[in-house]
Amino acid sequence: MKLYSYFRSSAAYRVRIALNLKGIAYHTVPIHLIKDGGHNRRPEFRAVNPQMRVPVLVAATGDVLIQSLAIIEYLDETHPDPPLLPKDPIGRAQARALAQIIACDIHPLNNTGPLRYLKNQMHQEQSAIDAWYHHWVRAGFEALEALVRPGPYACGAQVTLADIFLVPQVANARRLKVPLDEFPKIVGIDAACLALSAFDRARPENQPDAE
């Protein structure tokens, strides 16, 4: 498989974790989202993904898949061992809900595009942009801290979709200096996950395009 990725992209980070957990070999195609106005805006990448975002997974069939949640669910359906969702329907819904707090509520407001818009079109100072970022991370983490189960992982004893989404968001929070003292359960889950090789190998600093 081929993964179009950017080492700092939390969405690509999620897919790297899932591929590693499944033991699926893949080739990384780096797409730098910052240099030269963003290599994702080049015509050759736009032909791959008209949305001009990473990750993009080219499956063994040659089909091109976009959006991290869709890609990860595809991987779980085609490579079911180990499963990324609990067996029972309630547990599955709860794991998906935790993942979606990140994917739908936190990440979209703090992605590269909105932050660039705040800076370039809305002419906001960097301090205001940082305050925006911190606010939405904290709002989401407050909910997650209340909802996660006793560890070691977000949904208990099994690594799930929720952990795959949580760990990259924690990495982003740390990089942008969001204080995490109020979120001991989240910090504990992050540490437990990063002790696993599949998570550790997916870290941004361990990618071939890391700077």
Instruction: Dump pLDDT digits (tens) for 97-126.
Output: 999 999 999 999 988 889 889 999 999 999
Domain co-membership, 62 together with 94: no
Domain co-membership, 104 together with 78: no
Domain co-membership, 141 together with 57: no
| Whether 156 contacts 189, CB under 8 Å | no
**For residue 157, what are the domain limits?**
89-198
207 lies in some domain: no
pLDDT at 142: 98
Domain co-membership, 125 together with 169: yes
The whole model's pTM is what? 0.95
Domain co-membership, 110 together with 179: yes
Which residues are 27's β-sheet partners? 2
Q: CATH no. for residue 169?
A: 1.20.1050.10
C-beta atoms surrounding 179 within 10 Å: 11
What pLDDT, in 10s, does the model give residues 17-29? 999 999 999 999 9
> Is residue 45 scored above 90 in pLDDT?
yes
Q: What angle do CA 39, 40, 43 make, to 5 degrees?
A: 90
Beta-carbon contacts of 200 under 8 Å, excluding residues fewer than 6 positions away, are: 194, 206
| 203 vs 66: CA distance, rounded Å | 20
124 lies in some domain: yes
Domain co-membership, 43 together with 97: no
pLDDT at 113: 85
| 61 vs 71: CA distance, rounded Å | 14
Domain co-membership, 76 together with 120: no
Between the alpha carbon of residue 152 and those of residues 89, 131, 160, 192, the distances in Å are: 21, 31, 11, 6
Q: CATH no. for residue 10?
A: 3.40.30.10
| 118 vs 132: CA distance, rounded Å | 10
| 91 vs 161: CA distance, rounded Å | 11
- Total domains in the fold of the chain: 2
123 lies in some domain: yes
How many helices (H) and strands (E) would you count in the chain?
A: 10, 4
> Of 58, 82, 106, which residue is a domain's last?
82
> Of 59, 82, 105, which residue is a domain's last?
82
Phi, psi of 75 (to 5 degrees): -60, -40
> Of 35, 54, 82, which residue is a domain's last?
82
